[in-house]
Amino acid sequence: MQKTLYITSNGRLRRKDNTLYFETENEKKSIDIENVEQIHIFGEVDLNTKALNYISQYGIVLHFYNYYGFYAGSFLPRKKNVSGDVVVRQALHYLDREKRIFLAYCFVESAVYHMMRNLRERKEAETFLIAIEDEWERGKFNISTVAELMGLEGRIRNIYYQSFNQFLPEDFAMGKREKRPPTNPINALISFGNSLIYSHTLSQIYQTQLDPTISFLHEPSEKRFSLSLDISEIFKPLIVDTVIFKLLNNSQLTLEHFDEDLNYCYLNQEGRKIFLKELQKKLETTVRHRQLNRNVSYKGFIKLECYKLIKHFIGDQVYSPLKAWW
C-alpha cells in the first residue's frame, strides 16, 4: 500500500539529484517518493518547479490546507489513466434526469445507512435513530428532483448531528452545525475531518478514469471537484464521524487541542497531529471483502466506489453504493 504523508511543520520540499527532501530549520528528511501516493500540506511549505516536476513524474497528488487547517486546493499531476469514452458516458448520466437522480439517491441512501449504523451502536441515541428512520422512510418515496433529495438529506443530517449531544462529552456540545466558519470544537472537528475525506476521495478519483468535476448529487460548478463531494457523502459518517467519536470519548482530544480566533474555532497543531494519526489508522484498517474475498482497506473502499461508478457508466453493472456489513 502506498503511503500518505502529512506535513504539519513549516519548511521546504526540495529535490536534490533523484531524492526529495523535506527540510526544516532543525532537520532534513528524505522522502521515499516511490512509495508515496499523496502529500497533505498544513504548514507553510516552500517548493519550486524542480520539486513539482519530480513529484509529477511519480503521479503524487499534493493537497494544501489553510492556516485553520481547512482545504485550500490541490496539485494534480498530468493524468495518465484517461478515457474519453468514460468521461462522455459520465456526462450523459448527468444530463439524463432519471439517471442523475438515481445516482444522487444512491449516495444519500448510503450516507443515511451509515449514519443510522453509527447510532445503532449507542442506546442513548435511540430516539434520534427512530426519528431518522421515520424521516427517511417518509421522504424517500416523494423525491422528484435532486434539490428535494438534498433537502431530505439535510433534515436527516440535522437530526443526526443533534444526537451527538447524547453520547459525546459535555465540552463538545453540538449546538447547531456551523461550517463557515465553525465556531465551536465539535463543528471544527467535523469540518476538518470532512475536508480531509474530500481530499482523500479526490486522490482516489485521480487514479481512475472518472472526471472529478462531473457530479450528480452536488451541482457541478467552477472551482471545486464536485464528484469528490458526492462520493465523500458515503464515507463521512463511516470514517470521519467514527474517528471523532473515538478521539472524544477516549479523551484523546480535549479543549486544550483547540484555538479560537474571531469566532473561528480550529484544531491547534498538536490536535491536528492526533486527529491525522487516528484518521490514517482508520483509512489503513482492512476488512475482508465478501465478493472479492480479500482484505480491503477503508481507503481501498473509496477507490472501489469509483470503479463501481465506471462499470455503471459503461453498462457493465448497475451501481450499488457501499453499505458497511461488518
229, 218 contact by CB (below 8 A): yes
Q: Where do the H-state alpha helices sit in 8-145?
A: 49-57, 84-95, 97-120, 126-139
**Nearest-angstrom CA–CA distance, 203 and 228:** 9
Q: Is residue 218 a known part of a binding site?
A: yes
DSSP assigned state of 140: G
Q: Is residue 270 a known part of a binding site?
A: no
| CA distances in angstroms from 156 to 8, 101, 116, 152, 289, listed in the order given | 35, 18, 10, 6, 29
Q: Is residue 44 a known part of a binding site?
A: no
Angle of helix 298-313 versus helix 84-95 axis, rounded to 10: 80
**Nearest-angstrom CA–CA distance, 125 and 241:** 15
Annotated binding site for Mn(2+): 153, 218, 233
Annotated binding site: 153, 218, 233
